[in-house]
Structure 1
């Protein structure tokens, strides 16, 4: 594990779940793709009918933390809106169903940077890692080196595999069962690990949603959630623009007099 790599990604990673009167439910990991959005494997609106009537439920997101735990070091925001490919309370872990979702936070995720969506097809021959918590509530954030398989190679092992999938082979079995962790190849966001919670069925071989192939779905649903593409890109204030125009003229005038 390279500590420098983990440190550089720490501000882009999050874990999320629900707070109920009976206590918190930690659901999985996610990657920050916008100051108001997390890309993960699942997540539907708090008002969905899965909760018992009268149950007080709110969503939480913890980020910029080495441990997926409530602590003074972890930053926290709330969420109530989300869109998932599987509009159900719990994601189906069948290999024929892709797992991908966007969670919209109520407050901005004050992160130093967000993870941009890929603009080109993934290079699966590159160095690829998954960043996440091996066991969600126990381990610290880690970089896990993986081998990415092509769709054709993966389908030989999983015949019902959905067509926008990637497979990763982890040398240590039964990790990241909760799901939502980003697969990163040569520094580019490549996939989102699917959940297999609570069973470790396929040991070392895990499925990911291919983010490049889902990028249109992501952009469309960011808009449906009311999230603009460039909210972190703030325009220059008027006085800055004027200053840039005036200062060179003043300097030139001063040099001319000399």
Structure 2
């Protein structure tokens, strides 16, 4: 059996209703994993992600949870942890972005972004991670960002959250890797999703971004699938505490 084969594994993917999360769910299902999908807007039945997963012959379970509500995240995580269905792979992909110059960025917006992108991710990881630690195996992957390494423009809350996610990845890897639970991150570059719609609508910003990307194009959500499968698999069993950029060469420029 290939070391990239995920048959017999169950993956929980947050932010799975569209974009990067949907693409990751599709790729993991194609590699053999059963999928538990969750997002704030996901229809539990009849969604695009359900169709994608089931097209590969894998089982699917969909859940709607608002990651701006820590109590809802804790309730969902506790219920899943106690359901008797072990989660082998956790992909923390749920996230949001608020754009405004730092001098005008409201504290409410800043706090909401931190809650969704960081605090709720920790709550869910803690609850699911306990089961992984007890079993002595697991794969945890966070969706980080180029702004885990850089400052960005007009997105102070997002940059703060994704920089903190980078630190959380390393902290959890330090504690959990010896118990068989690897913790890594994927840092998408400029990907054509809802989060980058404002940038792509600005011709000057779009051209400036493209001028720096050696691949000379915006990424597609599907470009993240291979990295997600790799870090979820036995092929990455000796990799932990790493953030893998999938950015068309942006950071190397």
TM-score, length-scaled by structure 2 = 0.29
TM-score, length-scaled by structure 1 = 0.29
Higher helix share: 2
Higher strand share: 1
